[in-house]
Amino acid sequence: MEQWEKFLAPYKQAVEELKIKLKGMRQDYQLTRQSSPVEFVTARVKPVQSIIEKASARNIPYDRLQEGMYDIAGVRIMCQFVDDIELICTQIRNRSDMKVVEERDYVANTKESGYRSYHLIVEYPVERIGGAVTILAEIQIRTLAMNFWATIEHTLNYKYSGEYPPEIKKRLQNAAEAAYLLDQEMSEIREEIQDAQKYYTKKRNIR
Ligand code: 0O2
């Protein structure tokens, strides 16, 4: 266990730093543009048990975890509208403190499960007392509707180990379709919503 703790230490640090930095994007947008494509940010280090299970399922030897498993450090950015995803990606691609090494577009290429999200794999240097250690981290960017579906599906997946009864499978597909339509509807009235949000922010600041 002590070895896992040592191995995971730079990942823990990376996750904390990335969370602060990406939340900073939200504050920056709100100060300069009054509305932000970043709604909220969450982050986690993958639990040891999940690392072990994934390494075994994907045949990744333990001495190759660093380059073979991208999501030991995971950050999730939630946004309101589908178009915000590209805005956030562009911001991250232009940053000098991390380097995007791979992109997975499950928004344009919905997974068979119904999963939609945009994944950026980044190289991120962590300053340790022995010098800089570069780790891989996965940044998942998704709308609130995509996140709602993925969170529910993840829980059900855990319960059924991916072997859904046909009724549940169908319901999940229907829910994925509903989430897609919700995103489309919200995009249609985006300007209307954003005007209202700016008005609300101004009013709150006056008080
Ligand atoms: P966790 O920590 O429980 O979320 P590969 O499939 O081999 O190319 P990998 O690593 O599975 O590679 O990459 P992928 O599919 O790009 O991204 C993995 C992560 O995306 C998952 O992490 C989930 O967080 C999310 N994800 C991918 N597909 C689905 C899906 O069908 N439903 C949900 N709810 N989430 C999905 P893990 O490993 O599941 O870990």
Does the pTM exceed 0.80?
Answer: yes
Ligand 1 centre to CA of 159 (Å) is 16
The pLDDT tens digits of the residues spanning 95-129 come to: 999 999 999 999 999 999 999 999 999 999 999 99
Q: Which residue has the higher pLDDT, 56 or 191?
A: 56
The dihedral over CA atoms of 155, 160, 162, 167, expressed in degrees to the nearest 10, equals: -100
DSSP per-residue letters across 101-164: EEEEETTTS--TTS---EEEEEEEEEEETTEEEEEEEEEEEEEHHHHHHHHHHHHHHHHHTT--
pLDDT digits (tens, 9 = 90+) for 173-188: 999 999 999 999 999 9
Residue nearest to atom 7 of ligand 1 (CA): 58
Closest ligand 1 atom to 71 CA: 10
Ligand 1 atom, smallest distance to 119 CA: 16
32-47 pLDDT, tens per residue?
Answer: 887 899 999 999 999 9
C-alpha 150 – ligand 1 centre gap (Å): 10
pLDDT digits (tens, 9 = 90+) for 134-168: 999 999 999 999 999 999 999 999 899 889 999 99
Return the CATH class of domain 2-206. Answer: alpha beta
Q: Where are the domains of the chain?
A: 2-206
Annotation says 138 is catalytic? yes
Q: Which of 86, 112, 138, 163 is catalytic?
A: 138
**Distance, first Cα to last Cα, the chain:** 52
Is residue 139 in contact with ligand 1, taking CB distance under 6 Å?
Answer: no
Q: What does the pLDDT average to over 46-74?
A: 95
- Per-residue pLDDT at 33: 82
Task: Decide which of 148 and 190 is more confident.
Answer: 148
Instruction: State the number of CA atoms in the 13 A half-sphere of 20 facing the CB.
Output: 6
Q: Cβ atoms within 10 A of the Cβ of 96, count? A: 5
CA of 46 to the centre of ligand 1 (A): 12
- Calculate how far, in angstroms, residue 121's C-alpha sits from the geometric centre of ligand 1: 12
Asked whether 50 lines ligand 1 (CB < 6 A), one says: yes
